[in-house]
Structure 1
């Protein structure tokens, strides 16, 4: 009996041990996706031509290192050369034709002028002969007494026949010259206008010729980046069809790793996750990376990563960005490992706060496991300020309805607050001037600006230029019109505001982010634009740069502040250079006791300190914070329960901050002062 009982206990121990072993193996298999295989790859540029060309000279070979702006390929386009020669010949013909036509008209004008001069001279000679004969007869007749007596007794008023003849000749001359003058005038007008049609044709052909020569000069291809020539697909003298790859250029070192997760295992890989990349041939060669893409579809594994090349394998792609100074070889096989430590079975059970049997139940009925967010470090959490040193003055409702206060700016010369409203009638650029009692004393428009909507931030530069920006966010209906994407600069003189420049800030940021997609700030912008979650509500100006604070989305658990250098240059050119945008700060607006993290709703910079207002997504209130640039830490100054701070500025009271609150709906906006904050 004792032996039988011992055998039963031994059998139970074996079964329990086997059961635990199976559970541990299952757990280990479940977490298998912490390490996956991948291939180190790089950015490759395919060089081609938009038109049919002929290879004149190739200045590089495969595997050659090249520097940026180095001449790679010289091309020639026979069609362009023929067209250039044809236009040049047309121009020569038109210029020659223009000269011949003018010469013929000038010759006719000269001929008519000569005939006119000859006729005038002939008539004048006849008149002079008649006058001379008349004078001679008059002298001869003056000595005859009988003629003098007749002359004395003759009737007065009788016209002299000589005078009448001279007058007749002059009238005849005028009639003869008139048609000649008309003909000369017409010919002269024709001469002046004869060049117009030909001149227009010449100008058009000259413009076309200049464009063709400019395009022809662009046929030479230069390296866009410093790197290595991958493949050369043509030889000198060969003809190339449009968009056919002539050669490829890639960076010297891999810039990313493409890994694959088997379709039968779950993964904790997520955007922003930190991982370690290790070479399969040299375990000492490793580098840290960040997951920038996780595939949303199942694709076929590359043959190199299959355990059995014959069998097809399927899974999801994972794209990991790695630093450029790595030691990997292009195309090298690597292992992508999660940077998070592996969790033991017992500690995992404790984390899940479940019993051993509930865990087994979860194994038998597995559900979808989601990626965990990167935990915040204690050092990143803001400090709590001693609120006893601050005095929050009574909250005053605005004495004007219909204003959803979104930003404040102090105008010292007129002793008024400039207030923005994120909702104005018909998107009009309407501004409000407010006194210290919360009374709106004047409403004014920005001259020269047709419309702008969702104005959420404003700031003033040292020279008095006022900058106003829309939120860059979609409306409640999901629309994102141009009026919600504007950044404008405004000139103020007293109570008058006039537009200086404006730009589509949303479009400029998007275009620049595409060109700089390896930068962290660009990834934030592109992801937010793709999700249509971008929302910018804070802004301040310092040293010619504009700083933008984004209400949403969070980037890896932080609120983001971007910096745009040379802001006036951007507004003037309506273009952002690649080096103008950078990530300035990542901040966390959350105390250690708070359950919700707040979002940036406005910013104000004063004497090296940044003041930030934050609001909660649960609409339970907001707070006032400050960032000390020396320590890089956020300090919680004040809490506003039931109020949503939307604007912040400092006025003539040197130690006081003014806060505006947008209560939404038909509720009036409010203002309050925090004394002792500055």
Structure 2
């Protein structure tokens, strides 16, 4: 009996120790830390420039489209002027050619109308004579109008000849007019081709010129400014940095001995470390591939180095976190569920001897 009581006391003491350990550290195992941030956007240009004006200072809040800098680019204005001159010259030549073609078309159409009017007038006169003659001999059966072998009167023969003459006169004019109109609509005109090519180049130069006025890509805050008025900057050097007003991601560090592993796509509850009522739900979008040293600021005890896995958490942009604010990260599970998982993880599996001991205790 004494031996059984000794084993019972030992088992009870172990159970109390395990529960105490779980109470003190179980929940903390599932809490880790990070900081809210927004990657700074580095604003650069792909060509050498000279700084003309700087309209902002570090820390300024700006709105999308606000002008931040103005720069100049050597040779760009000269290139633009040269292209404008060349396009204007070719356009003038094209306009002269086009006006000449259109003038020729109008002249040919005028000739066609004049010829048609002239012949039509003769036809109308003959038809008028025929109409008068018919009315005069209508009641005179003894008088019959002269006709040729085909039964046509002289005036009818003349009218048919005039209509044939009209067709013969108008046909070449119509053909020439169609040819000239087709030439006007053609896309392979050498002048037009040159103008289109130079216009494309000019459009590209205009796009490059627009880049010389640097505006805010979004509402946000100006970070660091690395340029001054009058300075010359090489291509791809950072002129200034810019970031959105609210953080959109959290960089966290999961302790390497964390029992419940964090996976891609998991939801994480993000609590502010300084604003008690500020929190949101994020999602894991990136995970480091190696164990790294956790920054001193995020350690429980800064004096001791700890290691973990870096994770990236995407959070909604409509939050009130501060840039680089320390945040507390938790998995969205119930407290009891977490405690049970910790308890199961730390509780050793039952052996046959311990099971028989429990059975004897219950019998007594």
Query: What's 1:285 paired with?
Result: 277
Which TM-score applies when normalising by structure 2? Answer: 0.57
Q: Could you tell me how far 1:23 is from its partner in structure 2?
A: 3.3
| Mapping for residues 356-375 of structure 1, pairs under 5 Å | 358=349
CA distance in 2, matches of 1:43, 1:237: 29
Distance 1:206 1:23, change over 3 A: same
Q: Which of 45, 68, 71 pairs up with 2:67? A: 71
Between the aligned partners of 2:62 and 2:350, the Cα distance in structure 1 is 58
SS in 2 for 1:297: strand
- Contact 2:288–2:311 (8 Å) recurs in 1: no
- Which residue, out of 47, 55, 59, partners 1:59? 55
Q: Could you say which residue in structure 2 is the equivalent of 1:491?
A: none
Give the drift of 1:34.
1.3
Cα drift, residue 86 of structure 1: 4.9
Structure 1 residues 83 and 308, CA, compared in 2 at 3 Å: closer, same or farther? farther
Query: Residues 18 and 60 of structure 1: is their aligned pair in 2 closer, same or farther, counting only changes over 3 Å?
Result: same
Contact map agreement 1:31 1:267 (CA 8 A) in 2: no
Distance 1:269 1:323 in 2: 20
Gap change, CA 1:321 and 1:214, over 3 Å in 2: closer
Distance of 1:306 and 1:346 partners within structure 2: 23
Coordinate RMSD, CA, aligned: 4.0
CA offset at residue 50 of structure 1? 2.2
Residues 306 and 360 of structure 1, relative CA distance in 2, 3 Å threshold: farther
Task: Map Cα deviations across residues 170-223 of structure 1 (whole Å, 9 max, x no partner).
Answer: xxxxxxxxxxxxxxxxxxxxxxxxxx8788666644542343133212321222
So what's the TM-score if we normalise by structure 1? 0.33
Instruction: Kindly indicate whether the alpha-carbon contact (under 8 Å) linking 2:35 and 2:250 is maintained by their aligned counterparts in 1.
Output: yes
**Deviation of 1:69 (Å):** 1.8
Cα displacement (A) at 1:36: 0.4
Q: What's the counterpart of residue 235 of structure 2? A: 242
Q: Which of 234, 244, 257 in structure 2 is aligned with 1:251? A: 244
Aligned position for 2:14 = 19
CA distance in 2, matches of 1:65, 1:344: 45
CA distance in 2 between counterparts of 1:347 and 1:15 reads: 22
Question: What secondary structure does 1:81 align onto?
Answer: helix
How far apart in 2 are the matches of 1:345 and 1:197?
A: 78
Counterparts of 1:233 and 1:295 in 2: how far apart (Å)? 32
Q: In structure 2, do the counterparts of structure 1 residues 359 and 235 end up closer, same or farther at CA, with 3 Å as the change threshold?
A: farther
1:37 aligns with 2:1: no
User: Is 1:54–1:237's contact at 8 Å kept on the other side of the alignment?
Assistant: yes
Answer with 1 or 2: which has the greater Rg.
Answer: 2
Q: Is residue 330 of structure 2 the alignment partner of residue 334 of structure 1?
A: no
Is the CA contact 1:349–1:359 (under 8 Å) kept in the aligned structure 2?
A: no
Shift of 1:231: 1.7
Report the alpha carbon displacement of residue 336 of structure 1 after superposing the two structures with TM: 0.9
Report the equivalent of 2:289.
297
1:57/1:268 CA distance change after superposition, 3 Å = same
Equivalent residues in 2 for 1:129-208, closer than 5 Å: 204-208=197-201
Q: Give the whole-Å Cα distance in 1 for the aligned partners of 2:350 and 2:274.
A: 38
Count of matched residue pairs: 255
> Greater share of helix residues, 1 or 2?
2
Q: Is the 8 A contact 2:26 2:339 kept in 1?
A: no
More deviation in 58-67 or 207-216? 207-216
Contact 1:278 1:336 in 2 (8 A): yes
Q: Is the 8 A contact 1:253 1:330 kept in 2?
A: yes
Q: State the SS of the aligned residue for 1:269.
A: coil
1:279 shift after superposition: 2.6
User: Contact conserved, 1:272 with 1:292, CA < 8 A, in 2?
Assistant: yes
1:49 equivalent in structure 2: 45
Superposed CA deviations along residues 148-184 of structure 1, whole A, max 9, x for unmatched, are xxxxxxxxxxxxxxxxxxxxxxxxxxxxxxxxxxxxx
Q: How far is 1:226 from its partner?
A: 1.0
CA deviations on 1:52-103 (whole Å, 9 max, x unpaired) are 222211222111111122222222211323433454676799899x8xxxxx
Which protein has greater RCO, CA pairs closer than 8 Å, 6+ apart? 2
SS in structure 1 of the partner of residue 289 of structure 2: coil
Among candidates 195, 202, 207, match of residue 214 of structure 1 = 207
Residues 400-549 of structure 1 correspond to what in structure 2 (within 5 A)? none
From the superposition, tell whether residues 319 and 346 of structure 1 become closer, same or farther in structure 2 (CA, over 3 Å). Answer: closer
CA–CA separation in structure 2 for the residues paired with 1:86 and 1:324: 47
For residues 250 and 212 of structure 2, what CA distance do their matches in structure 1 show? Answer: 34
Over 3 Å counting, the alpha-carbon distance change for 1:55 and 1:357 in structure 2 is closer
